Structure 1
Amino acid sequence: MTATGQQPADLLIIGGGVNGAGIARDAAGRGLSVVLCEQNDLGSATSAASTKLIHGGLRYLEHYEFRLVREALEEREVLLALAPHIIRPMRFVLPHDTTMRPAWMLRIGLFLYDHLGGRKRLPGSHALDLRNHPAGRPLAERFRTAFEYSDCWVEDSRLVLLNAMDAAERGAAILTRTRCVEARREDGLWRAVLEDAATGARHTVRARALVNAAGPWVADVLNGRLGVNTRSAVRLVKGSHIVVPRLFEGDRAYIFQNDDRRIVFAIPYEGDFTLIGTTDVDYHGDPAAVSIDEAEIAYLCRVLSRCLATPVTPDSVVWTYSGVRPLYDDDTGDASAVTRDYVLDLDAGDGRAPLLSIFGGKITTFRRLAEQAVDTVQKALGRPAPRWTATAPLPGGDMPDADFDRFLERLCAESPWLPAGTARRWARTYGTRVRRLLDGARSPADLGPCVAGDVYDAELRYAVEHEYVHTGEDFLWRRSKLGLHLDAAGRDAVAARIAELRSPGAAAPARTLAGGRR
């Protein structure tokens, strides 16, 4: 344990979202000793409430954010190679609405989108004649032409997890359900009091530098727990999504223009569903209590009903989720036009222990943000080290040529007894680490009892022992989306088994402040 009177850590990170986890991974890989504390589960707030896309942000071109789009497009290629199990290419169809942006504008935007970021692996854009193309079948009859382009899909909450896992394996201490009660500068260091949410036990951590990656709570941490008056402003914007039964066949997603100049995605989701989002609404409440409201549901249904041949109604919604984006406040009036770029605010000098606060950002550029954040901290500490994360696969992503289909084919050949659906789900979820879950199994009996659906005891044991799972919600809604596929009895059975595995008498590993494998 790193405590008062013992060797201080190089870096204490507050916040276990994608930015905090990405910074922890990068810093640990550069040789810094790292402690990360997250008050809830990893990726349990904004980072698990995205539209699940690794994308350049086509609409940001309209706001002249060329640097952000270029960086995001470059990262799209990098991340696809680093995590081919949780990130995959997806084609998007943009119907041309003659009452909105003209076709020439869309063509120019897509030309820039194709060439701005050095696209290598993904196919480029082209026009579609919807009158004789399958992509036109679910659409309203008024659409005659569309444009198709490439972006990528990501399991966002698992992206957070994999960064945290890799950080831990490189020596970082990852403390979930641990709140930073307060932190103050003392004798050239940060002295922080951390509290275990389960037991209420408190301990002290000293660190040479502190990163505030608390997302929607970034200003609260600064002004409250750190006692520092922020020089930067954060604007909280709520984004909500709805999930409905599958609206159209095929693997293509759709991006629809609306008459308020916003765009709404409709994306194939979890096989049986369609994901629709997002909204942009200024938010002034508690980020932990965010939820969709009736007006947002009605808005999303109205946009889809305007664009599809079959209306979408609120009573078809089977699940919703909402998140609060902590955007850097650039005094923009419209919430949808606020920049998604990030700002790193360093408070250091005069012998003070460095404090770096993260404002804004988007999931696609988290790795670049982390690189710059660690560069900044290392410069302040006088501990330079080379960047490394652009070529290092995330856990499970070390597949030859980043070829997921070939990996899945080999997995099915190695374990022909494994049902095809389970093999694909596990390959997508765990990548090459599925072999650790299988642990030499030669038949379903070796996986232990089937708890619910295709969830075997071996998977739940792996999740508890290696993936920081504490509750059924952690597993059902963040490590997976099995909560959508299991009935109430199945969800209860999973939650009960996880509780058993985490009980004092079970052999689940204890958390550690020393870093390394859990």
Structure 2
Amino acid sequence: MEHDNALPPFSSPRSVKISKMQHLDATPVVIVGGGINGISTFRELALQGIPVIMVEQGDWCQAASGALSRMIHGGLRYLETGEFSLVKESVQERDRLLKNAPHYVAPLRTTVPIDSWSGGLLNAGKRFLRLSEQPSRRGAIIIKTGLSMYDLYTRQYGSMPRHRLNNQRETQQRWPNFADWATCSATYYDAWISAPERLGVELILDAELANPQALALNYIKLIASDGESLTLEDTLGGERFTLRPHVVVNATGAWIDRLNSTLLQNPSSKKLIGGTKGSHLIVRHPQLFKALNGEMVYYENQEGRVCIMFPWYDNVLVGSTDIRIDNPDDVVCEADEQRYILQSLKFIFPDFEVSDRDVLYTFSGVRPLPASDSKISGKISRNHSLVLLPPEAGRDFTTLCLVGGKWTTFRKFGEQAADKVMNLIGEKRKISTTEMAIGGGKDYPSPERKAAWIQLICNEFGLTTERVGQLLSRYGTRAADIAASISRDPDCPLEHYPDYSRNELRYLIHREQVQTLEDLLVRRTPMAISGKLTLARVEEIATLLGSELGWNVDDTAQHLATTLSRLASLHGLTGLYPLPVSEGVSHVSNE
């Protein structure tokens, strides 16, 4: 097995990439926004050999694309509103991800507790006919009907087992801690994703490796447009440069309208986005974790709103809220949202005492849903669409806006966007990504071959089977390249976080565009969301990162302080740092 120890094109020094952009002047396509849909469009275009640039003012998948429910699902509840095409597409893309990204996406057995047989029939009919938007509880007949339709798509496009309806005795045997109102239940299969932010990075890695004319840079902000050129600024180094695009893809999600009105000379364009905020909690509760036994519970709370919970590493992920919001900047899980989620959890598991002190981590994002007059946020379509803004007086380039979309359907949405762009610039598709493996999903070993694969890497690089198995679980088959890289020089575990080694983190820093401490703790690794961060661990990693990126002592101290502050304000990790509690923000200790 051969491995290239040289750094791949993705990890070219930042200054080299910026220099390339500065000398381009004109380029066919500029994508603004590095969430999952922008990344997918970038990958699709790059794989067709199209020169394309993608810029993101923060880090990859930093906003909504990193704040999903960690589900890869077909959208069962969209059947109720008649969005059959969305469910069909979602099931197809879910099953493709199971095949193309098996290192991060896996099946998830899911149980729906039910309180009656006939409940909600009248209201469900009204919702289907668009005569009512009010949520209500759904009985076994409605859920059975929906799951039977779901099975039709599943059998046609994948290999998931069929659903099963469980009577009261079966439900109580499997779920003795369910509330008394759960008189029966239904079980079906969907999927979950363990590292969504990493999957986004791997899509970029694949794209840049395949096309030297594809350049992706984080921490680059679009600050102005004169209608012909875009002015971009490196927010880390301060350099500015301009590009003349033929097409601009606005993939900024919840910020689409802001970008259109202030930077793309489109003050007359109609409002496209009506975002809603979704917040989630990571709770540490051994009893609840054990009760779930590896399954997700997909349940309705007192108001008939859908909630979820499932095991997440050694903890439990619980969510979510769905709240209209106008300003998407730095959204947080508010104290009332946390109370709402915990009360909803209590509704299905009344015997478990889960309180604020059990919450390890919170995260929030704004879903970039299409503008809607619907009074019920849960009834706004989760489908995606492309809005084309042709050149007009004062703007020479075409703007393509990516509106809406589920995380699950990112590949299809990116494919559609790329095809539209190629039509605009006179190019044709050469490669399909339908069956194309992603990153560490390439040549991923089957369960029967996994032990042999691990042993092969052990023999080649002198690592233990435990270590290679750990790398495989984190990075898929990219573990082979990481093993090759970390074995070149003496390596040792981190003193305060021995699950990771110094060379492993060096690999991530230099090959995955890590620019800040938060990038490493929150998005390239699950250190933060797993609830295992301590101040000593963060300080040790900050020192290592500073050494690798050439920061001086003051720079490192500033990055550390900034990261600790953001972990506290955005994710509730106040146990790491004695910060003042801001009004209206839920702060909980991780200790």
| TM-score in same-fold range (> 0.5) | yes
Q: Give the aligned partner of residue 520 of structure 2.
A: 475
Q: Does 1:380 align with 2:380?
A: no
Give the C-alpha shift of residue 380 in structure 1: 1.2
Q: Which residues of structure 2 form unaligned runs of 5+?
A: 1-18, 120-136, 553-591
Give the C-alpha shift of residue 502 in structure 1: 1.0
Q: CA distance change for structure 1 residues 407 and 9 in 2, over 3 Å: closer, same or farther?
A: farther
Amino acid at match of 1:243: I
Please give the per-residue CA displacement for 1:27-68, whole angstroms capped at 9, x wherever unaligned: 000111011100011111000000011101111111111111
SS at match of 1:50: coil
Q: Does 1:315 align with 2:373?
A: no
Q: Which of 268, 272, 285 pairs up with 1:233?
A: 272
Give the C-alpha shift of residue 251 in structure 1: 1.1
Please give the per-residue CA displacement for 1:374-394, whole angstroms capped at 9, x wherever unaligned: 111111111122451112111
Q: Give the aligned partner of residue 109 of structure 1.
A: 146
Q: Give the aligned partner of residue 391 of structure 1.
A: 435
Amino acid at match of 1:353: F
Q: Which residues of structure 1 form unaligned runs of 5+?
A: 506-518
Please give the alpha-carbon distance, in whole angstroms, between the structure 2 residues aligned to 1:331 and 1:126.
37
Q: Which of 305, 328, 334 pairs up with 1:293?
A: 334
Please give the per-residue CA displacement for 1:374-432, whole angstroms capped at 9, x wherever unaligned: 111111111122451112111111125x6367436622564387567654442232111
Q: Give the aligned partner of residue 83 of structure 2.
A: 65
Q: Give the aligned partner of residue 366 of structure 2.
A: 324
Give the C-alpha shift of residue 446 in structure 1: 4.1
Q: Which of 249, 273, 297 pairs up with 1:254?
A: 297
Please give the alpha-carbon distance, in whole angstroms, between the structure 1 residues aligned to 2:361 and 2:448.
30
TM-score for both structures, normalised by structure 1: 0.90
Please give the alpha-carbon distance, in whole angstroms, between the structure 2 residues aligned to 1:422 and 1:130.
45
What pairs up with 1:13-32 in 2 under 5 angstroms? 13-32=31-50
Q: Give the aligned partner of residue 235 of structure 2.
A: 197
Q: Does 1:207 align with 2:245?
A: yes
SS at match of 2:208: helix
Give the C-alpha shift of residue 346 in structure 1: 0.9
Amino acid at match of 1:194: L
Q: In proportion to residue count, which structure has more strand?
A: 1
Amino acid at match of 1:426: L
**CA-based RMSD:** 2.4
SS at match of 2:472: helix
Contact 2:31/2:52 (<8 A) preserved: yes
Q: CA distance change for structure 1 residues 170 and 103 in 2, over 3 Å: closer, same or farther?
A: same
Give the C-alpha shift of residue 185 in structure 1: 3.4
Give the C-alpha shift of residue 339 in structure 1: 0.8
What pairs up with 1:110-125 in 2 under 5 angstroms? 110-117=147-154, 118-125=156-163
Please give the alpha-carbon distance, in whole angstroms, between the structure 2 residues aligned to 1:102 and 1:317.
31
SS at match of 1:210: strand
SS at match of 2:329: helix
SS at match of 2:165: strand
Q: Give the aligned partner of residue 94 of structure 2.
A: 76
Q: Which of 71, 78, 86 pairs up with 2:104?
A: 86
Q: CA distance change for structure 1 residues 83 and 5 in 2, over 3 Å: closer, same or farther?
A: closer
Moved more, 38-47 or 491-500: 491-500
SS at match of 2:375: coil
Q: CA distance change for structure 1 residues 181 and 407 in 2, over 3 Å: closer, same or farther?
A: farther
Contact 2:274/2:369 (<8 A) preserved: yes
Q: CA distance change for structure 1 residues 106 and 408 in 2, over 3 Å: closer, same or farther?
A: farther
Moved more, 206-215 or 122-131: 122-131
Q: Does 1:157 align with 2:206?
A: no
Q: Give the aligned partner of residue 336 of structure 1.
A: 378
Please give the per-residue CA displacement for 1:121-170, whole angstroms capped at 9, x wherever unaligned: 32221123463566313422442321111111112212211112122212
Q: Does 1:460 align with 2:498?
A: no
Contact 1:21/1:167 (<8 A) preserved: no
Contact 2:24/2:243 (<8 A) preserved: no
Please give the per-residue CA displacement for 1:354-379, whole angstroms capped at 9, x wherever unaligned: 21011111101111100110111111
Give the C-alpha shift of residue 294 in structure 1: 1.4
SS at match of 1:455: coil
Contact 1:2/1:206 (<8 A) preserved: no
Please give the alpha-carbon distance, in whole angstroms, between the structure 1 residues aligned to 2:177 and 2:433.
41
Moved more, 214-223 or 93-102: 93-102
Give the C-alpha shift of residue 193 in structure 1: 1.0
Please give the per-residue CA displacement for 1:429-469, whole angstroms capped at 9, x wherever unaligned: 211111111117679x8434435231101111111111111
Please give the alpha-carbon distance, in whole angstroms, between the structure 2 residues aligned to 1:422 and 1:262.
43
Please give the alpha-carbon distance, in whole angstroms, between the structure 2 residues aligned to 1:119 and 1:432.
26
Please give the alpha-carbon distance, in whole angstroms, between the structure 1 residues aligned to 2:21 and 2:518.
32
Please give the alpha-carbon distance, in whole angstroms, between the structure 2 residues aligned to 1:424 and 1:183.
49
Contact 1:138/1:248 (<8 A) preserved: no
Give the C-alpha shift of residue 23 in structure 1: 0.5
Q: Give the aligned partner of residue 514 of structure 1.
A: none
Q: CA distance change for structure 1 residues 423 and 263 in 2, over 3 Å: closer, same or farther?
A: farther
Q: Which of 532, 548, 561 pairs up with 1:501?
A: 548
Amino acid at match of 1:167: A
Q: Does 1:348 align with 2:390?
A: yes
Q: CA distance change for structure 1 residues 125 and 119 in 2, over 3 Å: closer, same or farther?
A: farther
Moved more, 289-298 or 224-233: 224-233
Q: Give the aligned partner of residue 478 of structure 2.
A: 433
Amino acid at match of 1:238: K
Q: Give the aligned partner of residue 144 of structure 1.
A: 183
Give the C-alpha shift of residue 5 in structure 1: 7.3
SS at match of 1:393: coil
Q: Give the aligned partner of residue 566 of structure 2.
A: none
SS at match of 1:84: coil
Contact 1:472/1:496 (<8 A) preserved: no
TM-score for both structures, normalised by structure 2: 0.79
Contact 1:243/1:276 (<8 A) preserved: yes
Contact 1:3/1:206 (<8 A) preserved: no
Please give the alpha-carbon distance, in whole angstroms, between the structure 2 residues aligned to 1:182 and 1:22.
25
Amino acid at match of 1:93: T
Moved more, 5-14 or 207-216: 5-14
Amino acid at match of 1:163: L
Contact 1:96/1:147 (<8 A) preserved: yes
What pairs up with 1:400-419 in 2 under 5 angstroms? 400=444, 403=446, 406-407=449-450, 410-411=453-454, 414-415=457-458
Please give the alpha-carbon distance, in whole angstroms, between the structure 1 residues aligned to 2:422 and 2:414.
12
Q: CA distance change for structure 1 residues 383 and 291 in 2, over 3 Å: closer, same or farther?
A: same
Please give the alpha-carbon distance, in whole angstroms, between the structure 1 residues aligned to 2:147 and 2:470.
33
Give the C-alpha shift of residue 477 in structure 1: 1.4
Q: Give the aligned partner of residue 511 of structure 1.
A: none
What pairs up with 1:93-104 in 2 under 5 angstroms? 93-98=111-116, 100-104=137-141
SS at match of 1:146: strand
Moved more, 5-14 or 72-81: 5-14
